[in-house]
A and B are shown apart, each in its own frame.
Chain A
Amino acid sequence: MFLQPASLNAAIDLLAQNRGRLLAGGTDFFPALGQMAVRDPLIDISRLSELRTISVGAGTIRLGAACTWSEIVTAPLPSGFDALKEAAREIGSVQIQNRGTIGGNLCNASPAADSVPPLLTLDAGIELASPRGLRQMPLAAFIRGNRQTELAQDEIVTAVLVPRANGDLISHFSKLGARRYLVISIAMIAVAMKQAADGAIEQACIAIGSCSAVAQRLPELEAALIGSRSVSDIAARVTAAHVAKLSPIDDVRASAGYRRDAAIILIRRAVQDCFEKRAPSVGR
């Protein structure tokens, strides 16, 4: 059964009635299907206009959950979203970016989900809709583990919400993969920061993905970077202790030990690159 509701409310009703599966971009759904036939009723939410808008409000920037990566890349968003856009451009291929959605990426909850680190640095929240109404929660709370989320059976992720103020951060994303395109990351870093007039870091938000079951912020490191005003000083402040709490795994892409070593280098470089976006004149 394939159902294409005309509105979000209709979709919520259909989901409640059919206990079907939601389909948006399909870029995770179909690969997971393999050669199996589709058995569950499918509810296509990829065209719901409620889920496809991007709006910059006074307090909140709202990204509809069914917005594709290509739409996010071309959307007029402030600098805090540069990292998300950079991540979007690294997702799979143009074909995948044209179909894959931000909400789908979050619900799939892969440890290597490219959008999660940038959104974590922006303190993003998500909005969920069900017959019980709307609820919101921080993204960090929504993703519970590897492929595990707080999504209830009858719920639909409707939007990603970012505090307006965080939109003005300077942000940067860096992905380490074994080849140029179509690559699942070995590790990835998102950085969002605010600098004082003299270049000194006033606020740093750093998240790392693919190095633990769920991408995570590095609050000790963020605190340690406050006040740094040069790339060489940044390098000195990023230490092995800051990645000690990660729990990377050995897999076909890389060893756990490598991920740990690479994480420090990637963080150092990503923070430096982010720093230099804002303050090219500040000396090394």
Chain B
Amino acid sequence: MFDTDAAIPFTLNGRAVAVAAPAEWRLSRVLRDELGLPGTKIGCDAGDCGACTVLIDGETSCACLMALGQVAGRSVTTIEGLPVASPIARQLQQSFLRHGAAQCGICTPGMLVAATALLAHDASPSEASVQDALGGVLCRCTGYRKIIAAVMDVGRPVMAEARPLAGKAVGARIDRLDGQRKVDGTDVFGADAHPHDALLLRAIRTPYHHARFTIGDLASYQRENPGILRVFTATDVPGENCFGVIGPFADQPVFAVSETRFRGEAIAAVVGEAKTIEALDLAKFPVTWEELPAHLTLDAALADKASLVHAARAGNILVRGRVERGDVAAALAQSDAVVEGVFETGFVEHAYIEPEAGIARRVGDRIEVQACTQAPYMDRDDVAKILGIPQDSVRIIPTAVGGGFGAKLDLSVQPFIAVAAWHLKQPVRMVYSRNESMATTTKRHPGRMQVRVGANKDGKLTAMDFAGDFNTGAYASWGPTVANRVPVHASGPYFVPAYRALTRAVHTHAVPAGAFRGFGVPQAAIAQEQLYDVMAERLGIDKLEFRLRNALRPDQPTVTGQVLGAGTGIRACFEALVPHWQRALKDAAAANGTASVWWRGVGIAGMWYGCGNTSLPNPSTIRLGLKLDGRLALHQGAVDIGQGSNTVITQLCADALGAPVDSFDLVAADTDLTPDCGKTSASRQTFVTGKAAQLAGEALRRQILRLANAGLDATLDFARGKVTVLDRGVAHDIDLAALTRDGRGYVLAAEETFDPPTSPLDGDGQGNPYAVYGFGAHLVELAVDVELGLVKLLKITAAHDVGRAVNPTLIEGQIEGGIAQGIGLALLEEFQPGRGENLHDYLIPTIGDVPPVESILIEDASPVGPFGAKGIGEQALIPTAPAILNAIAQATGVRLRRIPATPDRILAALKEARA
């Protein structure tokens, strides 16, 4: 029998340990905080995500569901000890790396532990066995297919592609350059960065959608809770108590003042020693609430005389967007056919497996914030504003990011820990619980879109009239971006001669909606691609043929009047799907010839997406330095959130310079060390930062060639102390020691900036909003159980024009991961504020929910992108949901206008159709 004072003895990673920690603590916390093994990740504290999977006597358990005392006398194996405990684990790690099975890396330890347990019992498991064994670990990045492949291939010799020679990196399937630490479990995420002496901060949050409040007697509260070092409220914010990603719209307080506008908004924070703060019952914080009426829906917020969420925003409209070209009313009136519909989507949660976390420390008159983020320079500027200090007094050091997908563009923990550390002059950390992460961070905007589409008998689109309202929640966040992106994209990648798209971002008392992979374009595509299907049916034209007839040609203007020219690859994407479409239709028809409750269907949808900011500057700057030892320092400030920018940008720079990727040392994002590469969003890092890296590589190459007086096609060899330039058979050695070193110690350096050439949109939304668009089309094969409304996905074939596939493995990873999120959007996911702020009520796809994916990479080079490359991050998600919905309609004759298409909604639609 144990009491709390006895040390708990057990075997940890093969070694006997005795841990003097409270025996009732969760094992996960003890492993991480007491034993210094942060490879075991905490994603939910509820057994819903499996990130904390460890082996107990060889069998998997969630470490968050076990008390420390329960492992007394047992053997615990974590990711840190896995390679020693099991030779197969080492092979698995390499297989994960080779297959690109680790993206952000936050789920990777749990996946590896679970897979090791499987392989101990079954050396060559079937796909179904792998799914059964790994079904308890959620991944939000990969779409799981590469994880399945990595486990099933583990027994085979690793066919490592040799690191490509100089000039051959672009196009090579090289392993992720930062991948080893992801498969080792040693990557440092937001919650892993803290030193032992850090104080812990927890926020006091409102339980109401809308409320007025009065904070009570803090002095006596602190007297009763002497462990609280300090309580922070709005009056403690040294600078402006206001932040927001788009300066002119910034409206979100660090701590609310007298009124809270959404459930979960913070009003105060308590800071102290971790054990003390964890033991507090935050419900006892002295505050008096007065619940106020709340608008949660578009209808409520838009009703006549609805009260205002923000006094200065009339009608609860944050912003309107508009693109108009030609006379839509006339064109629709003259069209042979017009179809219309209203389509609705809900809030969608990013559900990355890493809840927000970080640490702040004051260093003299500067503040350092080390947290998970997608936008270090934006964080820097807002933290400076909040603290009332100059921007260069703030240092943002992004940790590894365990998934972002847009929500980690906005501040989360940073304002709280920065304010606290500034005052207390001690390191302060904060880790969001899953509940806190889901309740308070941004969501995908719910959309309600009313759309009319016209076409003629020849199958040519004539006009589209689109009106969309988007629930932007209580604060602005990226609402303006959604309102402006949607009108530019709502036509899809087609030639639509007459076009009008009007949007509104509408405030409600819901959690702020912000950026989520596509900024509203996925919602618009759900409406547009379904209506195009309806139109094809109306005209009696094959749905793929209809899209081919209308696919935007390089010489045709977009709805903003831009003529894209070379690199307009949408037609190629559709053409690549033709044989798959024909085969799939045949398969479905054959299956439907047999009596079954499972009705087969095939669906298709197209997509386009502009890379980078809409008509706004968004430069990236890359610095490249040659060191005395012949190695290259790449100051690469684009945050790799799992998508692979650390690898892809190095590949681009390497080929531009003419050096092998192995000769590069990455200087990762850090506002003190790396120039601004902008935010990791808008599918811009490969394109914009990649281009800056290409330019920097070329600039350094020119410097080297000049020193050797060599021709442009000379080859370079980088060695310790010298660079050898081989020019038409003659070798010139450049003695690096003879060169002057700059302040950073570089003997040669280049710094280049790229800002995509765009033009402002005029009053009608006409202009060149993007320099590059990515294109794609997905084909979905599925079956619907027409008695239960269940959907079984059979296969997804995805064709994407990526311009140039810089690293095909990473691109496939983006496509498969985007598809998995598209599946969730279409079939599973709807966040309802106050209901199910956890990962067992809010369901994202598991390893058993993503079918085989066949990716077809089209390389219709962009004249602007680096080596022709375009973005893929958001492009990958957009067509999945509409293609699924089109396939459901083809299978059943029922079209879902409200998503997600959950079994109850599908069955209700079927019943309505039969009635």
Contact = CB atoms under 8 A, between A and B. Distances in A.
Interface of A: 1-6, 10, 23, 25-27, 30-31, 33-38, 42, 44, 46-47, 70, 92-96, 98-99, 176, 178-184, 186, 252-255, 257-258, 261-262, 265-266
B135 A180 contact: yes
Residue of A178, A253, A257, A266 with highest tally of chain B CB at under 10 A: A178
B113 to A, nearest CB: 9
A257 B47 CA distance: 30
Nearest to A187: B788
A93 B46 CA distance: 12
B50 A95 contact: yes
A93 B44 CA distance: 15
A182 B1 CA distance: 34
Given A70-B59, A94-B60, A99-B61, A182 B48 contact: yes
Given A34-B45, A179-B848, A262-B788, A95 B62 contact: yes
A196 B281 CA distance: 61
Contacts of A94: 60, 114, 117, 132-133, 135-136
29 contacts: A2-B22, A2-B23, A4-B69, A4-B72, A23-B70, A30-B26, A31-B840, A33-B45, A38-B25, A42-B24, A42-B69, A70-B59, A93-B135, A93-B136, A94-B60, A94-B114, A95-B53, A95-B60, A96-B65, A98-B61, A99-B66, A181-B135, A182-B846, A183-B846, A184-B841, A186-B903, A257-B904, A258-B903, A258-B904
A35 B911 CA distance: 43
Interface in B703-747: none
Contacts of A25: 65
A114 B64 CA distance: 22
B138 interface: yes
Given A93-B135, A95-B136, A258-B908, A265 B69 contact: no
B835 to A, nearest CB: 6
A73 to B, nearest CB: 12
Residue of A1, A2, A70, A186 with most partner-chain B CB within 10 A: A2
Contact of B46 (A10, A31, A179, A183): A31
Contact of A262 (B50, B136, B433, B903): B903
B632 to A, nearest CB: 44
A176 B785 CA distance: 12
A5 B202 CA distance: 35
A42 B67 contact: yes
Nearest to A261: B907
Contacts of A34: 45-46, 433, 435
Given A4-B1, A42-B67, A179-B828, A35 B433 contact: yes
Nearest to B60: A95
B907 A258 contact: yes
Nearest to A5: B1
Interface residues of B, number: 67
A283 to B, nearest CB: 16
B849 A179 contact: yes
A91 B285 CA distance: 38
B911 to A, nearest CB: 8
B186 interface: no
Interface of B: 1-4, 22-26, 45-48, 50, 53, 56, 59-62, 64-70, 72, 114, 117, 131-133, 135-138, 202, 278-279, 281, 433, 435, 787-790, 827-828, 832, 835-836, 840-843, 845-849, 902-904, 907-908, 911
Given A4-B72, A42-B24, A266-B788, A95 B907 contact: no
Nearest to A68: B59
A27 B68 CA distance: 14
Interface centre among B827, B832, B902 (most CB of A within 10 A): B902
Contact of A2 (B2, B61, B132): B2
B136 A26 contact: no
A265 B278 CA distance: 48
Contact of B848 (A99, A181, A255): A181
Shortest 5 CB-CB distances between A and B: which pairs? A93-B136, A180-B848, A181-B135, A258-B904, A2-B23
Contacts of B904: 254-255, 257-258
Contacts of A183: 843, 846
A6 B45 contact: no
Contacts of A4: 1-2, 23, 69, 72
Contact of A46 (B70, B835, B843): B70
Contacts of A258: 789, 903-904, 907-908
Given A1-B3, A2-B22, A265-B787, A178 B903 contact: yes
